[in-house]
Amino acid sequence: MAPTANLNQIFSTFPAIPKLSGDKLPHTDVAAANLARNKADESVDYTLKPTRRLALGLGTIGLFANSNVAVSLAEDNGLWLTGPIPIPRATNMINNVETGTRSFLKTGVYIADIGTKGRQFRLKKYAFDLLALGDLIGKDAWNYVRKYLRLKSTFMYFDFDKVISAATPDDKPPLLDLANRLFNTVEKLEDAVKQKDLPQTEALYKDTTVILQEVMTRMA
């Protein structure tokens, strides 16, 4: 019996195991705790207090709310465009005589004023770019060809108008003739690309390349 007594004495020296903190509370205690928490939430004051951060936030909202006034009064400050994109207008007779415009013109394009020399250089460069467009014709890239043709031709249209306006009286007639021949052909080419008519597109593009090379020579 001695060994049994010794074991009892050893176990009796161990401290009692405390109750784990993760044990669930009785149902009544949980309900009471939730009720107390809800009352505490209801007592919180959610009203806005006049702080500097709030004042700055409201001021910013008011500023953007009236931004339409600022846009309507915005001007070009010489460094960047501060207002809506201006809509250019051609002043020379380079429109289609039947429609009064050009079918390939894109809207919402900002034409930067880079001076007469800059416009001549851009005309030469964009004519060269359109000469490389033939590599995509007939390769199931109709949408890209049409978008690229319209974008480049829109710049060339307005650049030609400014170059013609700045030309001497003797240079204006040949420039007008060159511009109208180019844009008449581009209109037909753009329509053929839109219809995805490959034979007509190839024929018209061949005619266009001859005029584009003439533009590059003229603007050199």
Q: What integer pLDDT is reported at residue 12 of this predicted model?
A: 53
Rounded Cα distance between 118 and 214, Å, is 18
Given pLDDT bands bounded at 50, 70 and 90, which one contains residue 18?
A: low
pLDDT at res. 65: 43
Distance, in Å, from the CA atom of 206 to the CA atom of 210, rounded to the nearest integer, reads 7
Q: What is the mean pLDDT of the chain?
A: 78
- Grouping H, G, I as helix, E, B as strand and the rest as coil, residue 81 is strand
Neighbours of 54 (CB within 10 A): 11
Q: Cβ distance 208 to 185 under 8 Å? A: yes
Q: Which of 130-144, 152-166, 176-190 comes out lowest in average pLDDT?
A: 130-144
Q: Is 35 a residue whose pLDDT tops 70? A: no
Which backbone phi and psi does 76 adopt, to 5 degrees? -80, 115
Q: What is the pLDDT of residue 214?
A: 97
pLDDT in tens, 101-136: 999 999 888 888 899 999 999 999 999 999 999 889
pLDDT-derived band of residue 61, with 50, 70 and 90 as boundaries? very low
Per-residue pLDDT at 89: 85
Angle between helices 115-131 and 142-166 in degrees, nearest 10: 150
Helix (H, G, I), strand (E, B) or coil at 157: helix
List, in order, residues 6 or more apart from 130 with CB less than 8 Å away: 149, 152, 153, 208, 212
Cα-to-chain-centroid distance, residue 57: 28
Q: Is the pLDDT of residue 92 over 70?
A: yes
- 71 pLDDT tier (thresholds 50, 70, 90): very low
**pLDDT in the model for residue 199:** 96
Average pLDDT for 47-70:
46
Question: How far apart are alpha carbons 62 and 71 in whole angstroms?
Answer: 15
Span 2-25, mean pLDDT?
50
Whether residue 174 is predicted with pLDDT greater than 90 in this model: the reply is yes
Structure tokens at 99: 């429609």
Amino acid present at 175 = L
Predicted confidence at residue 11, as pLDDT, reads 47
Average pLDDT of the residues in 212-219: 96
